[in-house]
Amino acid sequence: GGHSRPGRPEAIALRIVTFNVKFSRYIDRALQLFEKSQALQDLDILALQEMDEAGVEKIAMRLGLNYVYYPAVVHSAHGKNFGNALLSPWRILEDQKIFLPHSGQIEKMQRIAVAATFKIGKRKFRAYSLHLGTALEILPRQRKHQVEAVLADAERFSGPIIMVGDMNARGIGRFLE
């Protein structure tokens, strides 16, 4: 779930950032980076991976952003939720958790994508925060299957699509093109 409120005036170009905050550690350091770096100001969409709900809420509240968060699993390394989020000053019209195929071979860890539809000015955008399996967990063709699961959802949306996250591989961008 998350919050939804009217966003700021329409931007000319979108500023999109994706950030993997390993196991939701060092949230305060991440916040310092977002607050102090001029390049990270006035974000339209912030995609986060490896997050728990407390970390997402702290970032969203401090930066004044709406958000949607879904956990994928309780991670064995720390016993906390491990998932993805999308944050934005724009209104979130709908959101969804997309289960990705091919759990990891060793820990059988489920991967997800978080989707949200935003109204930015007069236009609707569909954004996805992905966290694909690593080379130790799945094969390259299985990672492509994970992306195809997200693309299948994206095909149902008629507006612009934004797909970002921790792809855990080189070459996924070329595959998406």
pLDDT tens digits, one per residue of 137-159: 888 899 899 999 999 999 999 99
**Could you tell me the CA-to-CA distances from 148 to 7, 63, 172 in Å, in that order?**
31, 32, 11
pLDDT of residue 105: 63
**For residues 68 and 35, which has the higher predicted lDDT (pLDDT)?**
68
What's the pTM?
A: 0.87
Q: Comparing C-alpha atoms, which of 74, 90, 166 is closest to residue 128?
A: 166
107-134 pLDDT, tens digit each? 677 899 999 999 988 889 999 999 998 8
